[in-house]
Amino acid sequence: MIVLLFIMLVAVSLPLIQSIRSDSIWERMLCYTSISTRVALILILYSRVQGDPMIGLVAVVVLSVGNSGLLLLANLIKAMEAECES
């Protein structure tokens, strides 16, 4: 199980590196949603290893609500950029 957790943590670093290299706000938001999903899956696995259902509950809430809030924020930023350009 610990090896699986380590592999999952390495997988989180890939979108993090891409978000640093990107200039587009949409690419960054996609990277952050990917990171959010991967971290929530890591938390679910970790809660299973520890036997603590509350950590798993937090991870499920992050999976269900977190990505939609990030996409709404991306739309707001895009609208603000369009307003500043005109």
CA angle 55, 58, 61 (to 5 degrees): 155
Q: Do 74 and 29 touch, CB atoms closer than 8 A?
A: yes
Q: pLDDT tens-digit profile of 38-75?
A: 888 888 988 998 998 888 888 888 888 876 776 777 77
Nearest Cα neighbor of 39 from 19, 18, 16, 20 is 16
What is the 8-class DSSP label of residue 22? Answer: -
Q: pLDDT tens-digit profile of 1-16?
A: 778 878 888 888 888 8
Query: What pTM did the predictor assign?
Result: 0.68
Write down the pLDDT at residue 82. Answer: 83
What is the 8-class DSSP label of residue 66? Answer: I
